[in-house]
A and B are shown apart, each in its own frame.
Chain A
């Protein structure tokens, strides 16, 4: 394939363990998006947290919002930027301090501790997890055939 020519991009989604039956074509990058929910599993008297397919979701649940990607092209991909929108009914739970976030609907991205939002009387205040509207990850290069996964945690309001 001539990678300078017109690209035919096919996205394959595989979420929640349910493979979306897209025909396998000459994919160049495959991304998938999924939602998992944290559940406490008790076995032999021991309790542990597991991430399960989000079959039942109620307020207060902790979600893992997952994105998988794979370079199926025959060249490396560069400046691979993944941007997601935090659903309105979900609050980001905890993020890496270096995580790029937006508190203005995706107009600007920076570390959370560098962002401010308008306070109740118009005065700027430091942004908090509740203010995050979008998250962004930048991967400088994805080699041929390389794949990866990113995620963040959120709480259902």
Chain B
């Protein structure tokens, strides 16, 4: 605060029942817009008093006096994660996005320096269950263009927020690449921290603010009123929050079984693998429970050189019941260069689909 002024003034004598408050009344009618962040820094608060009195029965000159203080800069902000659950990622996923929001609760326009860091293994995660277990590769921090959704190639990468007005907010994205070799349930926890910096100059980050220490200064002082975030203390001009990338990998297993369907001698009754016998092969792909849905699954099976593929015998997306490959599925797939192949439907966690084909023993 700075003590701005003391004023002494006198107004013309008036009759007592018509006090000379007209000017003051007009001033009082000028109201300041309501700010959730409060009165803007630099605003004067003037304690103005007017006195009227009589001596004997004679009304005396009305007088006013005032003292003024200036509202200081109250620095307060929050950074929140707007994801309501861990961001589910797959190994090798590129540019996975966690979403944050900064609210400037200060009574001044500020810049905010930004940093995104990885927490160490074992650190408490944002959502759990479990703790941080790996590091994603942070690509950068990106500023939303206003639609609330990360737009790759459109949203600008930033290292600070420029000229955030009191009560304004910004949506931010931390973008990271996920390494290979992670399994379902692995968590990479990232922290986004905003540090208050001086506003006032567009397109350049102002100096990081420090709290005015010691005695009052002539200018607008700075008071830190921020709470304790993740990795920072209350009243330090910083606020951090964590968010999680959680791996959901598809854990696939493949099994291949065969059944003799018929032979030229026994036909379908207890057929044996003799030349001319028809054998049905079943390639079953299972996705373990708890993981991610696997999509775009292409299954290929080499037909043995001593067998001949039975034309148009491929069936896709059949089922396995109690460990037994069922004689179901729909025709499809291709046979080329000794390989029977086809693309299965999306395979949800905990389910199994098959590719079935037949071949004749040479």
List residues of A whose CB falls within 8 A of some B CB.
3-4, 7, 9, 11, 13, 15-16, 18, 20, 22, 28-29, 31-35, 54-60, 63, 65-67, 69, 73, 75-90, 104-107, 133-134, 142, 156-157
- Cβ–Cβ contact A81 & B63, under 8 A: no
Question: Number of B residues contacting the other chain (C-beta, 8 Å)?
Answer: 57
Give 17 pairs: A residue, B residue, CB < 8 Å, sorted on A: A13-B65, A18-B3, A29-B51, A31-B49, A34-B67, A54-B69, A56-B221, A57-B69, A57-B71, A59-B38, A59-B39, A67-B47, A69-B51, A81-B51, A87-B44, A88-B28, A133-B28
Contact with A along B183-225 (1 / 0, CB 8 A): 0000000000000000000000000000010011000010101
Question: 10 tightest A-B contacts by CB?
Answer: A59-B38, A58-B74, A55-B216, A89-B39, A106-B25, A105-B25, A15-B67, A133-B28, A80-B53, A105-B29
B147 interface contact, C-beta 8 A: no
B60 interface contact, C-beta 8 A: yes
- Cβ–Cβ contact B71 & A9, under 8 A: no
- Cβ–Cβ contact A88 & B50, under 8 A: no
Q: Which residues of B contact A31 (CB under 8 A)?
A: 49, 51, 63, 65
Q: Which residues of A contact B72 (CB under 8 A)?
A: 56-58
Query: Which of B16-24, B111-119, B292-300 is found at the contact surface with chain A?
Result: B16-24
Assembly CA distance A5 to B261 (angstroms): 131
Known: A59-B38, A59-B39. A20 touches B6 (CB 8 A): yes
Q: Which of A32, A34, A89 has the most CB of B within 10 A?
A: A89
Assembly CA distance A16 to B32 (angstroms): 25
Write the nearest CB–CB distance from A12 to chain B, whole angstroms. 9
List residues of B whose CB falls within 8 A of some A CB.
1, 3, 6, 8, 10, 16, 19, 21, 24-32, 34-35, 37-39, 43-56, 58-61, 63, 65-67, 69-74, 107, 212, 215-216, 221, 223, 225
- Cβ–Cβ contact A77 & B55, under 8 A: yes
Known: A58-B223, A81-B53. A88 touches B31 (CB 8 A): yes
Write the nearest CB–CB distance from B253 to chain A, whole angstroms. 61
Q: Which of B10, B19, B65 has the most CB of A within 10 A?
A: B65
Q: Which residues of A contact B6 (CB under 8 A)?
A: 13, 15, 20
Assembly CA distance A83 to B70 (angstroms): 22
- Cβ–Cβ contact B53 & A63, under 8 A: no
- Cβ–Cβ contact A65 & B47, under 8 A: yes
Q: Which residues of B contact A18 (CB under 8 A)?
A: 3
Write the nearest CB–CB distance from A53 to chain B, whole angstroms. 8
- Cβ–Cβ contact A77 & B54, under 8 A: yes
Assembly CA distance A31 to B47 (angstroms): 13
Known: A3-B56, A9-B63, A33-B49. A83 touches B39 (CB 8 A): no
- Cβ–Cβ contact B32 & A157, under 8 A: yes
Assembly CA distance A107 to B18 (angstroms): 10
- Cβ–Cβ contact A84 & B67, under 8 A: no
Nearest B residue to A107 via CB reads B25
Known: A56-B1, A59-B107, A81-B19. A156 touches B71 (CB 8 A): yes
Assembly CA distance A63 to B8 (angstroms): 22
- Cβ–Cβ contact B60 & A7, under 8 A: yes
Q: Which residues of A contact B54 (CB under 8 A)?
A: 77-79
Q: Which residues of A contact B1 (CB under 8 A)?
A: 54-57
Q: Which residues of B contact A82 (CB under 8 A)?
A: 49-51
- Cβ–Cβ contact A156 & B53, under 8 A: no
Known: A88-B30, A134-B28, A156-B38. A81 touches B69 (CB 8 A): no
Q: Which residues of B contact A86 (CB under 8 A)?
A: 28
- Cβ–Cβ contact B63 & A89, under 8 A: no
Q: Which residues of A contact B16 (CB under 8 A)?
A: 79, 81
